[in-house]
Amino acid sequence: MKFTSVNLLDELAKPEFFSLLSAFHERSFPKNSMIFTPSYDEELESSPTPVSSAGERLTAGNYVFIVSKGLVRVYLAYGEKEFTLAFLKPGDVYVSHSSAQVQAVEDTTILLVDTPTFNQRMMSVPQFTVTVVRVLGGILKNTFSIVDGLALRDVSARLARHLVSAAQESALGPDGRRRVRLQLSGEMLAQTLGASRQTISTLLTDLTRSGILLKEQRGVYCILDEGRLRELLD
């Protein structure tokens, strides 16, 4: 699950967008460290905040950042409850003006710029607004998908959607079948799908026993019957 299919690293690599790319600064974060924690201090939110040093989480101000390397988790937290909104891979973008928290799932490098600077630079390359519209469209589509899944689908349908989506990102194997590599821990996958770890484990076992999936190794499943898997989406 991700916010948008637009790869901003590819977009900003175009010569006409160099002035935008040069505004970003590189920051690295070790595995499991927090990249961003929202601040509810209005005074802090209303003014730019100096960019942190490497590995130091961002706690105030609005930023635009692009994942350059690694895997990033965006999630909501309330007490001991957490709900994952998206996982960001290289090329994915995020703007830190929401109440979501951002964590490095792997050793991660991001390209970072404060929002006022980004907006100012973007005014000099108005053609970039086409890319921004594509990004916003992807985010809106993903948001509707999350709401649809939680409000109208049961957990088996949400798991099937996750597997189908992950399969579409992989190439066909020599046998003509797709493999799904579950990069997330059982707990993180459960948080993404709004279910318990035990429920997800049971559903994966049921899909395997029914001949829809074949577990080839830890976290890797071969889709034996994509048609039946898609039937679970309805």
Confidence of residue 41 (pLDDT cuts 50, 70, 90): very low
* Range 141-164 average pLDDT: 81
State the chain's mean pLDDT as an integer. 83
pTM, two decimal places: 0.72
Q: Which CATH superfamily is domain 8-149 in?
A: Jelly Rolls (2.60.120.10)
Q: What is the pLDDT of residues 77-92, one digit of tens each?
A: 887 788 888 888 899 9
Q: What is the pLDDT of residues 42-57, one digit of tens each?
A: 333 433 444 445 556 6
Could you state, in order of their start, the residue ranges of all structural domains in the chain? 8-149, 154-231
Sheet holding 81-88, edge to edge: 34-36, 101-104, 72-78, 81-88
- Report the pLDDT value the prediction gives residue 19, as an integer from 0 to 100: 85
- Cα–Cα distance measured from residue 160 to residue 17, given in angstroms and rounded to the nearest whole number: 38
Q: DSSP 3-state assignment of 11? A: helix
* Range 15-34 average pLDDT: 91
Query: Residue 186 class from Cβ within 10 Å (0-12 exposed, 13-18 middle, 19+ buried)?
Result: middle
Which pair of tokens denotes residue 7?
């790869």
Q: What is the pLDDT of residues 183-225, one digit of tens each?
A: 777 788 888 888 888 999 999 999 999 999 999 988 899 999 9
Return the CATH fold of 154-231. Answer: Arc Repressor Mutant, subunit A (1.10.10)
- Cα–Cα distance measured from residue 88 to residue 184, given in angstroms and rounded to the nearest whole number: 12
- Report the pLDDT value the prediction gives residue 72, as an integer from 0 to 100: 92
- Cα–Cα distance measured from residue 68 to residue 94, given in angstroms and rounded to the nearest whole number: 12
What whole-number percentage of the chain has pLDDT above 90?
Answer: 28
Confidence of residue 140 (pLDDT cuts 50, 70, 90): confident
